[in-house]
Amino acid sequence: RGVDYIIERAVIEAVELLELATELDENASPQELIPFIKRLLGPAQWQRFKDASRDEHGRVPQSALGELFDAASESAGKSAGSP
């Protein structure tokens, strides 16, 4: 959706994020994704995601959450070899 996010290495390396990640599988529901994405982004970027994803009725569609998760997963895969 044209918005960039900065994910701190310390957040990615935190045990709390790992705990949330172990509860996800490839068919994770939006309810399972929300705590993970919120922890990953932090409060300010989570709000920015929601504001940028609102439809014409002011609602954030569940599909936006899936798109964000897919983009984050793809980006993490590309940067896995980065220091």
Q: According to the model, what pLDDT value does residue 46 have?
A: 95
Helical axes 15-22 vs 30-41, angle rounded to 10°: 160
**In the prediction, which pLDDT does 1 show?**
59
State if pTM tops 0.95.
Answer: no
**For the chain (length 83 residues), average pLDDT per consecutive 10?**
82 86 79 87 94 95 87 66 50
pLDDT for the residue numbered 79: 56
Secondary structure of the chain in HEC code, one letter for each residue: CCCCCCCCHHHHCCHHHHHHHHCCCCCCCHHHHHHHHHHHHCHHHHHHHHHHHCCCCCCCCHHHHHHHHHHHHHHHHHCCCCC
